[in-house]
Structure formats: structure tokens, C-alpha cells
Amino acid sequence: MIAEATLHSLFIYGLIPLVFLLAVLSSLRTYGRNATIRTFLTMAVAGLLMEGLTMRLFASHTYNGIFPVPIGDVPLVIVLGWVVIIFISHEIVQAMQIPRSTVGFLMMGALAVNIDLMLDPLAEAVGLWHWNIANSFYGVPLGNFLGWFLIVFLFNHLSASRAVKRVFPNVIMRSLFLAIMPVLLILPVGVAWLHLDVENVIGPVNAKAVVGLLSCGTFIAGVWYAHARQQCADVDVTLPCILFLLIHLAFLAGAAAAAEHDLMAWSVLYIAAATPYLTPLVQRGQAGPVSSAT
């Protein structure tokens, strides 16, 4: 069994910095320097606000003191993780030619939940952070997954909104709006969720079914939808797909090393969750080379 200290170091100094670097390279190649800097900063601020406010207002979770470079209560590496998940969720759905519509934004939210439903339980198990509120999914509260779904859905929905672009023609002001507004819209939902004690109403058995259906089920349905359209990506999706596959494999290995949960259940969960990411690569291979978007 790998020592917890080793798992901590692999996560903090290995996995997250690596996938963040790959995400930056992917964005630079597809969107250019200015758009990458602007978008990544916006996503970072949104993630920082979401983490900081939920920790302060709800005392939801605490981080292990081993994390370097804290920004207030939030470690920098966690902010980088937010950027990676939001960005790659968008990129893979776009690469599958899902329209930038409500359906596409819902799939982006489901994809973000898909990766976090593996990241969070393992991180809790090996002591990277600890949830202080009622939880039903391997030590992680359902409200966490709801928050991920909502912020990724709202961020992408508002980013594509023509109304937002009309109200905020200035790029800097629009970026500030996009970083702040999704968080402000989600906070009342969090208050209601805790007040109504939804976590205990659903219960731990139903929680696993709900999370699996809304994350893996929703995204796999979208995969079949994209396949039925018989359309291929107009951007190079290799790096985005590699990012998610890398994260899934890393956490599968971590789960085996930690030996905290039933490995058979974890393996099925990982395979179901990782399978959709192969679809853009398969589509790309069938259609031949694709050109990078400008």
C-alpha cells in the first residue's frame, strides 16, 4: 500500500500541475494567448470564490495543512483543479459537436460531476480534505456534486449568452461578471439544500444511484446523441481527452493504493465514467484529420 504522504505529493505536485499545464497548452493551441489568459483567470476567480464562500458560510469542508501556497482558506492547487475541470468539460462537449445550447451546457455540468465523483471520495479517503457536513457518497455530500453541476452549467451558459455580451461589451467587465454571478446564483441553493436537510432525505443508498444517473448516465446519453448526429469535431480533441483519461487512471490507481473502498465497485464506476471520453477520439479517427479552431 502506498503511504498517504506519497499520495498527497503525487496529487499536489504531480497530477494537478500536470493536467493544468496540458489544459493551458490545449487552450493556447485552440484559442490563442489572450483568450486563454482571460478565460483561465475568470475560471480561477470563480473557483476561488466558490471554495472560499462555501467554507466561510457553511463550514462545509477543511483542507489538510500540507497544501502549499494558500489563497486565504483555499490552496492554489485547488484553484488550478477548478480551472481544469471547467475548461475540459467545455472542450470535450464542444469537440463532440453538441450545440452551445441548454443541452450542451447540461452535459458540461454532468461531465464536471463525472470527474469529481471520483476525485472527491478518494481525496477524502486519503486525508487531502475533510467534509464537515452530512454526506452520503463515500464521505462526500451530494450538495458538493450539485454545486459542481450548477457552477459549470451557469458559467458556460452565461459565457455564451448574447444578453450578457450586450450588457457587458467590455471584456474585462464581462469576465468579472462571469466569475462572480454563477457563485451568487448558487449560494441560495446551498442555503435551501442545508435548511431542508436534503442529504438525509435522499439517504446514502439512493445517493449513489442519483449521482451515477446524473453524471455518467447523462453524459453517456449525450455521447449517443452526438454519435447519432454523425458529426465530427472541428477542433483537435486529443489533449482534452487525454487529460480526463489521465485523471481517471490516476485516481483508479490511488483508490487501489488507498484500499479504502470496494475496488470492484470503484472499477466499474471508473470504467463507466471514462468510456465516454473515448468517443471524440474514435469520431476523429473515423473522419480523418481535423483542423484546429481559430
For the chain, what are the domain ranges? 4-285
State residue 8's pLDDT score: 73
Residue 1 CA to residue 256 CA, distance in Å, equals: 8
C-alpha cell at 242: 487525454
C-alpha cell at 197: 436537510
User: 237 φ, ψ to 5°?
Assistant: -105, 10
State yes or no: pLDDT of 233 exceeds 70.
Answer: no
C-alpha cell at 275: 468510456
State yes or no: pLDDT of 286 exceeds 50.
Answer: no
How does pLDDT run across 143-181, given as a tens digit for each residue? 898 899 999 999 999 999 999 999 999 999 999 999 999
State residue 288's pLDDT score: 35
Mean pLDDT of the region 44-59: 90
Burial of 5 (0-12, 13-18, 19+ CB in 10 A): exposed
State yes or no: pLDDT of 26 exceeds 90.
Answer: no
Top mean-pLDDT range of 40-49, 57-66, 236-245 = 40-49
Residue 85 CA to residue 81 CA, distance in Å, equals: 6
State yes or no: pLDDT of 246 exceeds 70.
Answer: no
pTM above 0.75, yes or no: yes
Mean pLDDT of the region 8-37: 85
Residue 122 CA to residue 32 CA, distance in Å, equals: 35
State yes or no: pLDDT of 236 exceeds 90.
Answer: no
75-89, 114-128, 143-157, range with the lowest pLDDT: 114-128
State yes or no: pLDDT of 239 exceeds 80.
Answer: no
Query: Which residues, at least 6 apart from 20, have a Cβ–Cβ distance to it below 8 Å?
Result: 80, 81, 83, 84
Q: For residue 243, how many C-alpha atoms fall within 13 Å in the half-sphere facing its CB?
A: 30
User: 220 φ, ψ to 5°?
Assistant: -65, -35
* Grid-cell match 458560510, residue found: 57
What percent of the chain stands above pLDDT 90? 26
pLDDT bin (cut points 50, 70, 90) of residue 120 is: confident
